[in-house]
Amino acid sequence: MKAVLPSEDADKPVVLGEAPEPEPAGDEAVIAVEAYSVNRGETFQLDGGLDRRWAGWRPGKDVAGTVIRAAADGSGPAEGARVVAHPPAYGWAARVAVPTRSLAELPDSVDAVTAAALPLAGITALRLLRAAGPLAGRRVLITGASGGVGHYVTELAAASGAAVTAVSATAERGARLLQLGAAELVTSVGDASGPFDVVLESVGGDSLPAALAELAPGGLLVWFGQASRTPVTLDFFGFFKGPNQARIAHFDYTASDVTYGQDLAALVRLVAGGRLHPEIGTVRDWTETAEVITDLRNRKVRGNAVLTVG
C-alpha cells in the first residue's frame, strides 16, 4: 500500500512509497485513512531530535477515516463507521491498524479534515487543563500559544472562566486566539502582565524561567513542551526567593487513566456542539507532506496542518 516513509534526505524528510499492509491485533480495527495531521513532535522524530523508538517506525499519530475491518474481539465500531483515531504510529498511510480504545466514532456533522486535527493536540489540551485544576476566575498564561495545542487550550480555558493571556511569536499568528476567548495577546513573556495563577509553558529556553517569574504565590507552572529546542537553565536559588509555595510540574500527555478514545469522544462532542473550533492552518494533498513539514519547522503554519489522502 502507499505510505509516507522517513527519508535520509534533510531537504525532503519524507517520501511517498510502499509499505506492508497493516496486520491488526485482535483489539485493533483497520482504518482507511482519509486525512491525517502532522505534529511538531513528529517533525523532531524525523530529524532525529527524538528517538524513533523502534525499527521500522513510520510517523502518523492523528488520523480520520472509515473502518474497513472491525476488531476481531468485537470491541469498537463496526465496518463502515467513520472514526477519528490516535495510533502510536504508522498513520500517514492508506490504511492503519488502531486499538479500539484509541478511536471514537464521528457524527455526520464532523468531517475527516476537522477530525484529523483533534487527536494529539486536542488530547494534550484536555489533559493539560485537568492537570491545571479548576480555572474559573483564575489568570492563565500560555506560551507558544499559536500552535494546535495552544488554540485548543485557549478556547477551553476561556470557556471555563479563565482570563487567558496568550504568548505568540507575532500578533498575526496569534490573532485567532483573541477570537477564541483570550483576554490578552502578547508577543513575549516579558510583555505579559502577571502574576498568573497558572502558567502552561511549551517553549523552553529563556521562556520557561521568564514565565516562572510571573507566577503568583501558590501558583503552578506546567511544563509540557520545548518547541524552541533550546535547553532550559533554572536558577533555583532565585526560584526559592520567588512566589511563596509556587510549584513546577512536568507534564506527559500519555500518563492518564482516561483512554485516548474517551478523550477523542469528548473532543468530538465539543466540536459537534459548536464549543470547540479546530484551527487548521493548511490543508493539502498528502503528496505535499514534506513541504508541510518544512513549513511547520519554519513556523509558517498557524494551528494544525492536515493532509488529505488521495
Percent of the chain with pLDDT over 90: 75
Do 91 and 138 share a domain, yes or no?
no
Mean pLDDT for 30-55 is 81
Do 73 and 100 share a domain, yes or no?
yes
The 8-class DSSP code of residue 242 comes to S
CATH code (residue 288): 3.90.180.10
Give 46-88 pLDDT, tens digit per residue. 877 555 556 788 999 999 999 999 999 999 999 999 999 999 9
Q: Tell me, yes or no, whether 210 lies in a domain.
A: yes
Q: Tell me, yes or no, whether 300 lies in a domain.
A: yes
**What cell numbers appear for 50 in the block?**
527524538
Mean pLDDT for 273-286 is 96
Residues 6+ apart with CB under 8 A from 156: 125, 126, 129, 270, 276
Q: Where are the alpha helices (DSSP H) in the chain?
A: 40-46, 112-116, 119-132, 148-159, 171-179, 207-212, 236-240, 260-272, 289-297
Q: Tell me, yes or no, whether 220 lies in a domain.
A: yes
Q: Tell me, yes or no, whether 265 lies in a domain.
A: no
pLDDT band at 239 (very low <50, low <70, confident <90, very high): confident
Do 91 and 134 share a domain, yes or no?
no
- The count of domains in the chain is 2
- Report residue 115 CA to chain centroid gap: 13
Do 53 and 109 share a domain, yes or no?
yes
Q: Is residue 241's pLDDT more than 80?
A: no
Give the pTM. 0.93
Q: Tell me, yes or no, whether 45 lies in a domain.
A: yes
CATH code (residue 155): 3.40.50.720
If one compares 302 and 234, the residue with the highest pLDDT of the two is 302
Do 20 and 68 share a domain, yes or no?
yes
Q: Tell me, yes or no, whether 123 lies in a domain.
A: no
Range name among 16-30, 189-203, 243-257 with the lowest pLDDT average: 243-257
Beta bridge partner(s), residue 4: 16
Do 133 and 245 share a domain, yes or no?
yes
Boundary of a domain, candidates 213, 234, 250 = 250
Q: Tell me, yes or no, whether 7 lies in a domain.
A: yes
For the chain, report the end-to-end CA distance as a whole number of angstroms.
12
Q: Is residue 156's pLDDT more than 70?
A: yes
- Alpha carbons 202 and 200: distance in angstroms, whole number: 7
Do 197 and 290 share a domain, yes or no?
no
Q: Contact at 8 Å (CB) between 186 and 167?
A: yes
The whole-number pLDDT of residue 268 equals 98
Do 161 and 207 share a domain, yes or no?
yes
Range name among 14-28, 79-93, 242-256 with the lowest pLDDT average: 242-256
Do 109 and 194 share a domain, yes or no?
no
Mean pLDDT for 227-237 is 79
Do 78 and 185 share a domain, yes or no?
no
Average pLDDT, the chain: 93
Q: What is the largest CA-CA distance in the chain?
A: 60
Mean pLDDT for 228-240 is 78
Do 135 and 231 share a domain, yes or no?
yes
The whole-number pLDDT of residue 21 equals 98
Do 150 and 63 share a domain, yes or no?
no
Q: Tell me, yes or no, whether 64 lies in a domain.
A: yes
Write out the residue range of the structural domain in which residue 186 sits. 129-250
Give 172-188 pLDDT, tens digit per residue. 989 999 999 999 999 99
The whole-number pLDDT of residue 279 equals 94
* 98 backbone φψ class: left, alpha, beta (φ>0; ψ -120 to 50): beta
